[in-house]
A and B are shown apart, each in its own frame.
Chain A
Amino acid sequence: MTDIDARAAMHLSDASVSVELETQGMTLNIGPQHPSTHGVLRLVAKVEGERVMSVQPVIGYMHRGYEKLTEVRTYAQITALVNRIDWVSGFANEIPWIRAVEKLMEIEVPERAQWIRLILTEMTRISSHLLFMSSYPLELGAATPLMYALREREYVMDLIEGLTGGRFHPNFNRVGGVKPAAGGGSTQKKVSQDLPAGFFQGTREAMDRIDSVMDELDELVTGNEMVRARTIGVGVIPPEKAIEFGLSGPNARASGIDFDLRRDGEPYLPYDQVDFDVITEQTGDSFARYLVRKEEIRQAVRIVRQGIDNIKPGPLQAKVPRVLKVPKGQTYVRTENPKGEMGFYLISEGGRIPYRVKIRSASFCNLSILSWILEGALVPDLVAIMGSLDFVLGDVDR
């Protein structure tokens, strides 16, 4: 104690500002309510001066016990539940769940329904990544990109809402297909069940807008000196660490891991019939994670356009029994969510409700690297690193 006081006194008497001040360590409490935490996350950081010595994330403020709730709900009801896990990409959450049920029931989904799922998944990816494109520069101190990105995102949300009836929680998938579209009328009239008029035209226009706003954001953000200074070389994740911590999605690809479940995983939607690039970066820093998401928006736009070109008329729904009883079995289905690998391990013992559902959410694993990556970082970099991981607390806490 006295030793530290003596050293502090020595430094204080020193007039030179170039001398690094030695300060007493202190505990900094960040959150649970903090704008950079995308929900409620608390960080207990031990800092010495500007240096973070250790960080212990405290999570669970939004724990809703979904794994328990799935054990008392029917299969159809759980679809509504799972799209609240990662609430900025609700539609993409439904896919692995509904595929797991279809796999156990051995249902073949009509092709048109698969294409609609693919188009909506990619639109969800655009909307999720655009939210990152707006919030990340904001966390670095740039407020303007938010206006550009959120404005265009609204066109995508409008289309999703027009089709499914919900902006964030579409609940649009049904076991064996997709729901008859909003305003589609009776399920007996096959023509009116289909997509609302003008959906494809509207989507094409929205995709053109996304393309042009990405050019604008490129000019505004990517080349911006401040953004580059704050993100390049900050929060570097080497590939072996990414694998060890189970990082997936854009966070892993920014570290040079060339793996994308859309291309390399078990097939779940007709991604093999569309042309797209898997974006990787080698540096693994915050800027690389930004670059990967930015390019993934453009790739998603490409996929949506091809989806619209490839989709053909046909039924939206396979024949399924009125009361869903899933035969005994266990399966794991994982898909490429906008945040990374999302999977459901489903155990059915027969009957109308699952025996056990394990939810593997991408943000949970992506966030678990936080203690490791923030150790030794500077306090001002804390938000820059956290923001670059692009997590959603609903996806962490489940």
Chain B
Amino acid sequence: MTDSPPDGDLVDEAADSVEADAVETELEEIGFAAELTELVGASLWVDEFDTIRIYVARENWVESLRLARDEAGLTFFGWLSAVDWSTEVAVGEQVGEPDELIERYEVVCRLSSVTSSKGAHFFTEVPKDDAIIDSIVPLFAGAEWHEREAAEMFGITFVGHPYPLKLYLPDSFQGFPLRKSYPLLSREVKPWPGTVDVESMPAADGPSTTNVEAGDTGGDE
């Protein structure tokens, strides 16, 4: 890594003006987020890293999005997906303390404006044992594919979807691949050598046998 001292004054000045701009836009967006939260009747909103998250109740899901579209000008359908918060993790890293985590799915929908940079992410919680939510296809025709994807990847049922078939996966596919509990078979067979990205180099003298054990077979031996 380089440790070049950057050109002091220039960089500082630039950073200051950037910071000032950031504070200004932040204030604007916080106002917008609070307004939007009130509009859709949500209880919780988060605004961090230039990303607004608004948590609405599952029964208000469609109505909240309709209000955001019709009253707040968020007419552009960005995307819809889901997040699996799970203590049962087959791939990746376990998050947090298992007893603190509330197991749930979160359905996320992003709406934005086409006249300004405004946009927000609407979240709703769906319990694991009752993964059902109303479809928003009547509101946004573009949500059709997104909901089919979320349904096949997470096993969430979208009530009222006009064409509830699998999108990417074959019809006979079993399981829901993006659930945290769904194993990635290639990882079961062989650990990914790259998970440790700072590795000691193999010993220079003679062929090393430890590499094979570590999962790095080197290929053509």
Contacts and interface: CB of A to CB of B under 8 A. Distances in A.
B145 A72 contact: no
A47 to B, nearest CB: 20
A247 B75 CA distance: 12
A358 B115 contact: no
Contact of A331 (B50, B178, B195): B50
Contact of A266 (B18, B117, B153, B187): B117
B168 A332 contact: no
Given A74-B194, A244-B140, A364-B145, A67 B178 contact: yes
B194 A77 contact: yes
Contacts of A314: 6-7
Interface in A327-377: 329-334, 341, 343, 345, 347, 349-353, 355-356, 358, 360, 364-365, 368-369, 372
B168 A246 contact: no
B206 interface: no
Interface string B113-148: 011110101000000000000000000111011000
A195 B56 CA distance: 49
Interface in A216-266: 241, 243-248, 252, 257, 259, 264-266
A6 B194 CA distance: 70
A59 interface: yes
Contact of A365 (B46, B117, B142, B198): B142
A18 B172 CA distance: 48
Nearest to B116: A264
Interface stretch (B58-66, B88-96, B211-219): B88-96
Interface in A53-73: 59-60, 63, 65, 67-69, 71-73
Nearest to A369: B142
Given A110-B6, A259-B115, A319-B1, A103 B50 contact: yes
A368 B95 CA distance: 35
A333 B115 CA distance: 18
Interface in A34-84: 59-60, 63, 65, 67-69, 71-74, 76-77
Interface in B75-126: 75-79, 81, 83-84, 91-93, 95-96, 108, 110, 114-117, 119, 121
B92 A71 contact: yes
Interface size class of B (residues with CB under 8 A): 35 or more
A114 to B, nearest CB: 11
A372 B2 contact: no
Contacts of A397: 168
Nearest to B46: A330
Interface residues of A, number: 67
A245 B184 contact: no
Contacts of A241: 141
A72 B188 CA distance: 12
Given A110-B6, A314-B7, A368-B142, A246 B78 contact: yes
A243 B3 CA distance: 47
A355 B79 contact: no
A320 interface: yes
Contact of A332 (B93, B121, B145, B184): B121
Nearest to B168: A60
A277 B105 CA distance: 43
Contacts of A349: 93, 95-96
Contact of B51 (A319, A331, A368): A331
Given A60-B167, A68-B177, A111-B14, A365 B140 contact: no
A60 B198 CA distance: 36
A48 to B, nearest CB: 21
A187 B50 CA distance: 33
Nearest to A349: B95
Given A244-B141, A360-B78, A73 B49 contact: no
Given A266-B117, A355-B93, 5 more contacts: A63-B168, A68-B91, A245-B140, A343-B79, A372-B141
29 contacts: A60-B170, A69-B184, A72-B187, A74-B195, A77-B194, A103-B49, A108-B15, A110-B6, A111-B14, A187-B2, A190-B2, A190-B4, A241-B141, A246-B76, A259-B115, A266-B50, A314-B6, A315-B6, A317-B1, A319-B1, A322-B1, A330-B53, A332-B50, A332-B51, A347-B83, A353-B92, A356-B83, A356-B84, A365-B142
Interface of A: 59-60, 63, 65, 67-69, 71-74, 76-77, 103-104, 108, 110-111, 187-188, 190, 193, 241, 243-248, 252, 257, 259, 264-266, 314-315, 317, 319-320, 322-323, 329-334, 341, 343, 345, 347, 349-353, 355-356, 358, 360, 364-365, 368-369, 372, 397
Interface of B: 1-4, 6-7, 14-15, 18, 46, 48-51, 53, 75-79, 81, 83-84, 91-93, 95-96, 108, 110, 114-117, 119, 121, 140-142, 144-145, 153, 166-170, 177-178, 180, 182, 184, 187, 192, 194-195, 197-198
Among all A-B residue pairs, the 4 with the closest Cβ atoms: A60-B168, A331-B49, A245-B142, A349-B95
